[in-house]
Amino acid sequence: MGSAVLTPPKAKPPEDSTPPPGKGNDGPGGSGGSGGPGGSGRGGRRHPPNWSLPPGAYRIAIWMGIVSISMLFAALTSAMLVRAEIATDWVHGAIPSILYFNTLVLILSSLTLEFSRRSLRKEAEKGFTGWLYATTALGIIFIAGQLLAWRQLAAHGIYVTTNPSSSFFYVLTAAHGVHLLGGVLALFYLVFRSRKIFGTPQKRIAVDVTAIYWHFMDVLWIYILILLKVKL
Amino acid sequence: MGEVQRGPEQRKRFVGKYIFSVDHKVIGRQFYFLALFAALVAMLLSWVMRLHLGWPNVQLPLLSTLSPAGAPGGVLTPEYYLSLLTIHGTLMIFFVLTVAPQAGFGNFLLPLQLGAREMALPRLNMLSFWTTFAALGVLLSTFFISDGPPITGWTAYAPLSAAGSITGPGEGMGQSLWILAIALFCLGAVLGSVNFIATTLGSRARGMTLHCLPLTCWAWFLTAVMILLSFAVLLAACLLLMMDRVGGTSFFLPAGMVISGDLIHRGGGAPLLWQHLFWFFGHPEVYITILPAMGIISHILSCFSRKPAFGYQSMIYSMMAIGFLSFMVWGHHMFVSGMNPYTGFAFAVLTMAIAVPSAVTIFDWLGTMWGGKLRFTTSMLFAIGFVSVFVTGGLSGLFLAQPPLDVYLHDTYFVIAHLHMIMGLAGTFAIFAGTYFWFPKMFGRMMSELLGKMHFWLTFIGAYAIFMPMHFLGFEGNPRRYAALTDNFLKPLIPMHRFITIAALITGAAQLLFVSNFFWSMFRGEKAPDNPWEGTSLEWTVSSPPPPENFSGGTPVIYHGPYEYGVPGSEKDYVMQNSPEKIAGG
């Protein structure tokens, strides 16, 4: 048997074989897991002491979803840059001005969602539901505005197939719109379950997760807007 | 789910328990069976292709029933040969090698090995399975449309895949369905990985630090991260390709393209763009299939060598390095695409750099076995077989990594040999090893060791008999994807093709041994004890099969690393992870 066998480091047994409850059960502090996802302990417990679903799971899941969606748009971006670079048929176009209005609406919706969360923290139910309604309404207005932008382009005779630049315009806005629609559905869920969510602290994670996603949609849209402004 | 709501009580319970279940153990088995089914279909397709390569005029009457146009009189047309190889590749790479080691074993075992009651997001898990199931249904439906399956292979290179039905049979509806199937698969895979990551980070039992995780869990976790990053890119590529086909855009369609004498009025697109997007997904995909396999093999080798996994940490860091590098080498699939030689050089260097962490993993496996008290169970045999085919396939990779050699070997049988060795065989050997190892836990009964060993030797020898000669076919310049060998320089190769075909038929038949062993043991096998292999990880602390709540005695607490085998001074030669026993010198 080789003498230099690298064995996995032993877990430091919890003191006295009766593990202390609550904190301090993160195992050896020295091992740290710094190379990997050891930093996962953000905010939440790393080792839930009981069987209930870990509240951190939804938060991790939504961030992972965001990573994946970012990769999707990174791929579309690189496709656009490459396609524009090699193209001899690329016609630069202006973006419909209604998009700026839509952007404003979306930023506003992020603000109202934050107001809603603040009301929730202050245990003010009226404010919570009121701002939630406002956010949902703004989300719907944004989608309507995007559709209007498409109609405006179509009215000028610019369709998906007109030019590679318009193709990318439609594909990027549609891909963002579909993801945002998912956010609107989540908002609908919050609106319809607002009573229950307000009454049960454990359910409030749904608001946090929706907010993370919604703000990401906001940031993603601003990124797309800049990309379109620069490259289209 | 619509069907759950109504119907008699019993049916409702059956549906809830076995069909639309949120239990990770049921979902894991569902994924496993999906992969098993896909593997059998894909193997049948490979038989048909092999028969055609050996004896081009052979008549297979059943085939003309399936597709009168694709196999008139039972003889394959060259186009239908391409259709079959497309579905063979797609099934094997996506629905077998991606599904079984990760979603199949991973779903079943990850919560058990972490000491968790469930996956972090059980309903998302169910959604992941049914999305994958729908993807398989859509893919196989291409056999039953008049057009037939697409002819572009699993890589679906544009512009062939983008220009529509004028480019050949299967390029109408068939190709569109293929893209839809892959898009659905991407979705299911991403949903599943989100769950894997959330579970690994958030649902571990007390004391289960990241350095106490079994290597299987590490592999599943890292693979989930890779799936998250790469499948989204494939989804974007599929979206653009679909737009080219049905939306009339020209992302991938070049200007001035003439197909069958007709000028296609689209233009300016970049066919190479598809290759970049596809291989940015496609190369990590290779490691997505092999990392879980590496985790499984490390786990099994350690158990049956009765020694701690050699180089536990180096294994983890190697897997990380492999995963990281895999995102930077996609260009080595495109050396002959007219790439700038300097770019090719960079891709070649990075590709060969992967050999370093790969070699570390091989040394770790050999180090684990060295001086151990080896127990040659079927599972162990397959694990050793994995190391063998992994080395063989890895070595031919070093040839292909070099642009000057690749220019010659590209798109020849050498590539087929390489990818089947490193991806297909290594992947399936790990699936087999895992099946023989965890079958008792999954189904509560033991598999027959005698049949298992017969299965191993036939498969091991057969696999080399099939794929070793293909290297030589590649040296001779035999191109891949040719339905028949009619050129003068290829005719002398026909006897070797016949040899391969016979080997493939025998090896394929040996798999029926596995299938019958599997299903016979499922119902008639000897009842399995809790810990038949004397393993140390947490899944062996519960009954076989595990109770619905996994750990009925309450939360396990972890005191030991995952591979405490051959412990001096211990009563048994191993210490379970949740055993409070103190180890001398530990």
Span B45-62, mean pLDDT?
92
**Lowest-pLDDT range of A100-114, B11-25, B238-252:** B11-25
Q: Comparing C-alpha atoms, which of A67, A185, A208, A219 is closest to residue A128?
A: A208
In chain A, residues with a C-beta closer than 8 Å to the C-beta of B229 are 67-68, 71
A-B interface: how many C-beta pairs under 8 angstroms? 220
- Cβ atoms of B308 and B562 within 8 Å: the answer is no
Q: A90–B268: do the CB atoms touch at under 8 Å?
A: yes
pLDDT for A55 equals 62
- Check whether B179 has a pLDDT greater than 80: yes
Cβ distance A171 to B273 less than 8 Å, yes or no, reads no
**Angstrom distance (rounded) from CA B324 to CA B457:** 35
- To the nearest whole Å, the CA of B19 is away from the closest chain A CA by 23
Closest CA to B266 of A84, A162, A172: A162
Whether A47 and B221 lie within 8 Å, measured CB to CB: no
Among A209-223, B5-19, B26-40, B440-454, the least confident range: B5-19
pLDDT at position B12 is 63
- Residue B347's pLDDT is 96
* Closest residue in B to A60 (Cα–Cα): B198
The residue with greater pLDDT, A195 or A168, is: A168
* Nearest CA distance, A164 vs chain B (angstrom): 7
Span B190-214, mean pLDDT?
93
Residue A224 contacts residue A173 (beta carbons within 8 Å):
yes
150-209 of B, contacting A, C-beta below 8 A: 190, 193-195, 197-209
Query: Cα–Cα distances in Å, from B186 out to A167, B179, B239, B316?
Result: 23, 10, 11, 26
State ipTM: 0.92
The answer to whether B356 and B406 have CB atoms below 8 angstroms apart is: no
Range B301-330 average pLDDT: 96
**B210: chain A residues, CB-CB within 8 Å:** 31, 33, 36-38
Does the bond joining B78 to the residue before it have cis omega, within 30 degrees of 0?
no
Structure tokens belonging to residue B254: 């070049």
Distances (CA, A) of B333 to B234, B285, B412, B431, B472: 16, 13, 13, 26, 21
Q: Which residue has the tokens 């997007």?
A: B277
Q: What was the pLDDT predicted at B9?
A: 60
Q: Please give the angle made by the CA atoms of B509, B511 and B512, to the nearest 5 degrees.
A: 70
The alpha carbon dihedral of B397, B399, B400, B403 has a sign of positive
Q: What is the pLDDT of residues A13-53, one digit of tens each?
A: 443 333 333 333 333 333 333 333 333 333 333 333 344 44
Say if B547 is an interface residue toward chain A (CB within 8 Å): no
Q: Is the pLDDT of residue B275 over 70?
A: yes
Are A67 and B228 a contacting pair at CB < 8 A? Answer: yes
A79: nearest CA partner in chain B = B273
As a whole number of angstroms, the distance between CA B498 and CA B503 comes to 9
User: Distance from CA of residue B346 to its chain's centroid?
Assistant: 28
**Structure confidence by residue, pLDDT tens digits, A55-74:** 688 999 999 999 999 999 99
Burial degree of A3 (CB within 10 A; 0-12, 13-18, 19+): exposed
- Nearest-CA residue of chain B relative to A166? B249
Report CB contact under 8 Å: B236, A37: no
Distance CA B218, CA B226 (A): 12
pLDDT classification of B8: cutoffs 50, 70, 90: low
Q: Maximum Cα–Cα distance for chain B, whole Å?
A: 81
The pLDDT value recorded for residue B485 is 87
Mean pLDDT value across residues B131-160: 94
| Residue in B with minimal Cα distance to A81 | B273
Q: What is the pLDDT of residue B157?
A: 95
pLDDT digits (tens, 9 = 90+) for B63-89: 888 888 888 988 999 999 999 999 999
Q: B111-115, B435-439, B505-509, B545-549: which has the minimum mean pLDDT?
A: B545-549
Answer whether A40 sits within 8 Å of B202, measured CB to CB. yes
Q: What is the mean pLDDT of residues B522-535?
A: 95
Residues of B in contact with A224 (CB under 8 A): none
pLDDT digits (tens, 9 = 90+) for B333-373: 999 999 999 999 999 999 999 999 999 999 999 999 999 99
Nearest CA in chain B to A35: B317
The pLDDT-based confidence of B199 (bands split at 50, 70, 90) is: very high
Which of B247, B273, B309 lies closest to A79 in CB terms? B273
CB distance B100 to B32 below 8 Å: yes
Which of B251, B549, B558 shows the shortest C-beta gap to A167? B251
Residue of chain B minimizing CA distance to A20: B206
Neighboring chain A residues of B268 at a CB cutoff of 8 Å:
83, 86-90, 164
Please give the residue that has the higher pLDDT: either B546 or A36.
B546
Kindly state the average pLDDT of the residues B214-229.
97
B150: number of Cβ within 10 Å: 29
- When pLDDT is cut at 50, 70 and 90, the band that residue A196 belongs to is confident
CA distances from B274 to B242, B405, B584 (A): 12, 24, 58
Is residue B123 helix, strand or coil? Answer: helix
In the block, tokens 């106490």 appear at: B212
The verdict on B308 touching A (C-beta cutoff 8 Å) is yes
Section B300-319 average pLDDT: 96
Percentage of chain B with pLDDT > 90?
81
Cβ(B455)–Cβ(B428) below 8 Å:
no
Q: Yes or no: say if A84 and A164 are a contact pair by the CB < 8 Å rule.
A: yes
Supply angle C-alpha B449, B451, B456, rounded to 5: 90
Does the beta-carbon distance from A75 to B277 stay under 8 Å? Answer: yes
| Total H helices, total E strands in chain B | 19, 2
B24 touches chain A (CB under 8 A): no
The pLDDT mean for chain A works out to: 80
Residue in chain A nearest B225 by alpha carbon: A64
Residue B105 to residue B425: CA distance in whole angstroms: 17
pTM, 2 dp: 0.91
Q: How would residue B2 be classed by pLDDT, with cut points 50, 70 and 90? A: very low
Q: How close does chain A come to B309, measured CA to CA in Å?
A: 7
Contacts of B205 in chain A (CB under 8 A): 47
- Beta-bridge mates of residue B258: B263
pLDDT at B117 over 50: yes
What's the pLDDT score for residue A51?
Answer: 40
Q: Smallest CA–CA separation between B98 and chain A, in Å? A: 18
- What is the average pLDDT score of chain B? 93
What is the distance between the alpha carbons of residues B129 and B23, in angstroms, rounded to a whole number? 12
Question: Smallest Cβ distance to A40: which of B201, B207, B231?
Answer: B201
Half-sphere exposure of B44 (CA within 13 A, CB side): 9
- Counting every residue, how long is chain A? 232
What would the pLDDT profile of A171-195 be if each residue is shown by its tens digit?
Answer: 999 999 999 999 999 999 999 998 8
Count of beta carbons in the 10 Å neighbourhood of residue B65: 10
Q: Using H for helix, E for strand and C for coil, what is the string for B508-575? A: HHHHHHHHHHHHHHHHHCCECCCCCCCCCCHHHHCCCCCCCCCCCCCCCECCCCCCCECCCCCCCCEC
Handedness of CA B131, B137, B140, B141 (dihedral sign): negative
CA triple B330-B332-B334, angle to 5 deg? 90
For residue B545, whether the previous peptide bond is cis, meaning omega lies within 30 degrees of 0, is: yes
